[in-house]
A and B are shown apart, each in its own frame.
Chain A
């Protein structure tokens, strides 16, 4: 094994450690290796090493110089993977226990990558069915025109519309000027039904026509209605798209669209799904989405997880860059990784009772794969915890995990209430909505809390959710999962 030359790991610290943490870690290590205490062979060298590490890190000036050099030295690995666990160690229990892991994957290499990121090949698929008439279509047109303006000259944009049939109104290969694109958008009118598969298929064909290795591909589907009998075909198409690294995001306007369906498409392809309550918000959400598509560094980010025997992966969530569901089982398609940005995944493992002899348990072996240009990179990781006796005190979990779980609990309460209703148990659903309201108001989420109160009475009266309320709570509680320093 090569000699450990990292000053941080020598002191058992991460690079984000504060001066106070550095000082404390130094003193702790010192107690073990000081020549006055430890007379073992090699202790003096270790002591000198620690001295050197502390001298550099305790001075902010030399520390930042060291950090910069460290980044350069680590250029070989383009990503940094940091797992964070809900517990310091597993306890040797006679019953199953839960462990949560937050995994951050962040790009590290800077020098040889040009900052701008990959150009974008974007397809907007717009619903122009009859229900879009009026302010929905008008604001959508304005938002689409805005996006055209915002894109870079290297980016490609196509626009597909659909009702009962799909039509490519702007193809990226025809190189229209912005004026021509605007007039084409301006002339759209709403009529007919909603057949999402038609739109998706046309958009998929269009994006494939301008397929490039060094381009990021993304489809944004904007709809306000249910599609009928073509969900399965649409999901198959989404799987095909995922294989080609085309991610699909779904924007649902109002209360009448199929949220499970758009969620599933997003989960399969590494895209996102968004609930748009009022048409005026379309622009804001589109801009946000486009921002998430700039400075793309790596494509085809995939996380595969193989759990150890007697460990099951109970659930997986993506928290960054956008909160989203992941499919029921790995591998997880995560879309693109942006320059110097983080993808954060929350995994929940259930561990069966641990036999006496084991002192360390592997939870899972995981591997991120991603593409830089044509090269495929692999970043393996092993998730493991040591095992301590069952009567050991459990320390508090890291605040990031506690916060994420607290918010996840709220999201799941809302999901469970939907399940209650599906099972005909509206009383339980109403009760759960009241509990949810209490927690939301306690967190000063007044608007969402009030929605939950309204839903509780609506459920009591109608034995079902109101369409708007259900979506507002689902996407509202999901949004709370965004780490607090990342919230807009």
Chain B
């Protein structure tokens, strides 16, 4: 039998995925990388880091997000893909940037609202609305869910009613 590395369930030889937890068992081919995030560890590591602020404020970075009404920069995250939303207790997948502190709930921001993708040198940015309840607007125009929309310097993104200005080095 093959033992699943994630949940110790046993499968017959010849199986490729664990029938209990869905983890891939033996093969990793470059064309089909099945990313496996272990939910419980993701959650506990985030909880552990909760007391200390996770991100430092660094508006001098080449890409920054400015909250217009709150007149403050969002903490920057050193990732090329960051998800905006708000964290609630018991949530399985948490956003990279938690907007709860900025009245996100009242302003209709979804738990996982939108993702911003940056190119390697931060020269290009795209936003993807994650099929959020109240939608995402770029410069006032509602963007379709789950598709990439390019962002430019000084663009204003609205998540529900929360307004965020994009600032890039260009």
Contact = CB atoms under 8 A, between A and B. Distances in A.
Chains A and B form a bound pair: yes
B49 interface: no
Interface string A376-419: 00000000000000000010110100110110011011001000
A290 interface: no
A278 to B, nearest CB: 13
A317 to B, nearest CB: 14
Nearest to B1: A95
B1 A402 contact: no
B26, B32, B38, B92: most-surrounded residue (chain A CB, <10 A)? B92
A334 to B, nearest CB: 25
B21 interface: yes
A87 interface: yes
Contact of A413 (B22, B24, B91, B130): B22
Interface in B1-54: 1, 11-22, 24, 26-27, 29, 31-32, 34-39
Nearest to A449: B93
Nearest to A445: B146
A258 to B, nearest CB: 26
A98 B13 contact: yes
B164 interface: no
A453 B146 contact: no
Contacts of A350: 12
B10 to A, nearest CB: 10
Contacts of B39: 434-435, 437-438
B27 A95 contact: no
B112 interface: yes
Interface in A414-461: 416, 432, 434-439, 441-443, 446-447, 449-450, 453, 456-457
A436 B19 CA distance: 11
B131 interface: yes
A442 B37 contact: yes
Contact of A453 (B16, B31, B91): B91
A96 interface: yes
Main DSSP-derived SS at the A contact region: helix
Interface string B113-124: 000000000000
Nearest to B38: A438
A91 B26 CA distance: 16
Contact of A450 (B21, B22, B112): B112
A441 to B, nearest CB: 6
B90 interface: yes
A361 to B, nearest CB: 13
B144 to A, nearest CB: 12
Interface string A215-229: 000000000000000
A43 interface: no
Contacts of A456: 92
B90 A450 contact: no
A447 B92 contact: no
> Range of interface residues on chain A?
35 or more
Contact of B16 (A86, A438, A442, A450): A86
Contact of A402 (B12, B19, B29, B112): B29
Contacts, number: 94
A449 B112 CA distance: 11
A13 interface: no
A406 B23 CA distance: 9
A109 interface: no
A350 B29 CA distance: 24
B29 A442 contact: no
A399 B14 contact: no
A197 B48 CA distance: 58
Interface in A90-117: 91, 93, 95-100
B81 to A, nearest CB: 11
Contacts of B149: none
A397 B27 CA distance: 8
Nearest to B12: A98
A91 B37 contact: no
Contacts of B99: none
Contact of B17 (A396, A399, A406, A450): A406
Nearest to A90: B14
B145 interface: yes
A340 B146 CA distance: 33
B16 A397 contact: yes
B22 to A, nearest CB: 5
Contact of B13 (A93, A100, A436): A93
Contacts of B13: 91, 93, 95, 97-98
A450 B131 contact: yes
Contact of A406 (B1, B24, B38): B24
A421 to B, nearest CB: 16
Contacts of B19: 409, 412, 416
A293 to B, nearest CB: 30
A443 B29 CA distance: 15
A432 B19 CA distance: 11
Contacts of B27: 396-397, 402
Interface string B62-98: 0000000000000000000000000000111100000
Contacts of B15: 98
Contact of B12 (A95, A435, A441): A95
Contacts of A91: 13
A14 B160 CA distance: 54
7 contacts: A397-B27, A399-B29, A405-B16, A406-B16, A439-B22, A453-B91, A453-B93
Given A97-B12, A403-B32, A438-B36, 9 more contacts: A100-B14, A402-B16, A413-B21, A432-B20, A432-B21, A435-B21, A442-B36, A442-B37, A456-B92
The 9 closest A-B pairs by CB, nearest first: A98-B14, A409-B17, A442-B35, A97-B14, A97-B13, A447-B131, A446-B130, A98-B12, A435-B21
